[in-house]
Amino acid sequence: MQRDNLREGLINETINDDREGNKHLVFTDENREEGEGQSELTLEEYEEIQEKEALEKDVQDELEVKKFIQLKEGVSWWNASNIFFTYFISISQIVFFDLCLVYLLKSESHFNIPTSDVAGLSANIVFYSQPFTLLFDIILGYMHDKLGRKVTLLISNLICVLAFAVLPFVTTIYPGLLLIRIMLNFSVKGPLSAPLPSDYIVSSTRGKATSLSGIGAGFGAIFSVFVLFTITKKTSFTFSFYIAAGVYFLIAVYMFITVKDVKREMREGSQVSAFFSWRKLKKTTKTVWKVSRTSREVNLSYYGSFITRMGDILSILFMNIWISSFFGSSDDEISKANSRGQMISGIGGVLILILSFFIGWGTDKMKFVYTISLFYGIRALFYFLILFAKDPSTVQAFLFFLIIYTSNGLLNIIINSYFYKIIRKEHKGILNGIFLFFGTLGILFISKIGALFFDHVIISGPFLLGAIFDLSFVILFFFFHKPSKEEHQDGTSH
């Protein structure tokens, strides 16, 4: 019996120990009598067979692509809809909290922090929460591989629900608001570290499918800005927090029902998926290290994650800090500042929603060197132009921030699409965790250094830093990106 076909006709799988304590799988052919036709494999050999079968299946799926977005065999659109919901719940919760944070701190009805201290304090809350997030990135990537997408997403989503449910009772900045931010960091990383496009979508249409994440992000931003944040002005922050907790609970239930654990179902009936081995962990770590050390594309994606997540903080937190610095701390002044930030985020969310599909299509049709150079270059330009914006009431400031906010949402689609295409053959959960780990480093960097520039250099300083990093990425990508064979053949990157 050839090892390539061991899974065919085999019904019994047991784990035996040899004298050295190594684990062996014993397979028995259902058509043979006991004691005949048995083959013994080590765990590593068995896993190599599974990886080979999965790769062959991916190749076969590529050859059968007929639809605009091609799902892998056994995957339904109910399953694929979670590509949308992972980004909806992640973006909406963090946008909503960061929008509320600046104004909660400044409002006389809540923490009543002086305007001069709001930037440093709000940035510090983000900064001090990030060391925990560095650990969450690795843990959640490993959880996705070991527990599966369904359980990991349920845990992270329920933590999000809990965070907003207890937020009305928080009366301190430290540790109160900091603990809430730490909880939300964990709940955001769960959905973002789930490589569902790679699980569910054939590679050659994965860019278009990844646009679902951009659409989810757009709807998430619109929901957080025009629904949840509007409620804070019509009623109270407390009521809006309860509404958020209820909505996120419903989404958590839907995702638990509809998420399909493709990788784990490949091993259904086997005791291997439940068997933890330090040897296996060591092997996975070595593989990840080898890929990170030898692959230009992976390293470029890590740096792309770093500066893209910097953009998340610049386009939400620092934008609202910049706007609020021109207003007082009375409820009326806070309301005026809220309205300006809300308008930019809301219109930007709509634009992201509209443009996401075209960006996803473009990542399948155009070389990444073009899309990345163009869009990161545009964001760098408008980061720089913030230096010339006089105050939030000017048309220039509105347009500059709107373009920054919109381009940042689209760049999340582009860098994620690039990453998902280059990790097709690797340990998706773990590598995705490292990808997010570098994004967390970007948040950690800009939240602290950006605040120092804002307070002690110039209020537009954080955006100048963003421009420098974006331009450096464009240059590095242009010179060090190595096009795949498919790019040379048909102008796309797979």
Distance CA 480, CA 477 (A): 5
Query: pLDDT tens-digit profile of 349-362?
Result: 888 888 877 776 76
Predicted pLDDT of residue 63: 43
Distance CA 25, CA 13 (A): 6
Query: Does the pLDDT of residue 130 top 90, yes or no?
Result: no
Domain boundaries, the chain: 3-63, 77-490
Once rounded to an integer, what is the mean pLDDT over residues 45-61?
54
Residue 216 Cα distances to 168, 276, 326, angstroms? 27, 35, 32
Q: Which of 194, 321, 205 is nearest to 259 (CA)?
A: 194
Give me the phi and psi of 190, to 5 degrees please. -60, -55
Distance CA 370, CA 15 (A): 51
Query: pLDDT tens-digit profile of 76-111?
Result: 888 888 888 998 998 889 888 887 887 788 777 778
Residues 6 or more apart from 180 whose CB is under 8 A from it? 97, 163, 166, 167, 170
- What percentage of the chain carries pLDDT values higher than 90? 17
Q: Give the pLDDT band of residue 292 (cuts 50, 70, 90).
A: low
Once rounded to an integer, what is the mean pLDDT over residues 254-282?
60
Once rounded to an integer, what is the mean pLDDT over residues 437-441?
85
Q: What angle do CA 144, 418, 288 make, to 5 degrees?
A: 45
Query: Does the pLDDT of residue 477 top 60, yes or no?
Result: yes
Q: What is the mean pLDDT of the chain?
A: 76
Query: Does the pLDDT of residue 71 top 60, yes or no?
Result: yes
Cα–chain-centroid distance for residue 123? 21
Whether 202 contacts 62, CB under 8 Å: yes
CATH fold of 77-490, please? Growth Hormone; Chain: A; (1.20.1250)
Query: Does the pLDDT of residue 369 top 90, yes or no?
Result: no
Q: DSSP for 2-54? A: -GGGTTTTEEEEEEEE-TT--EEEEEEETTS-TTSS-EEEEHHHHHHHHHHHH
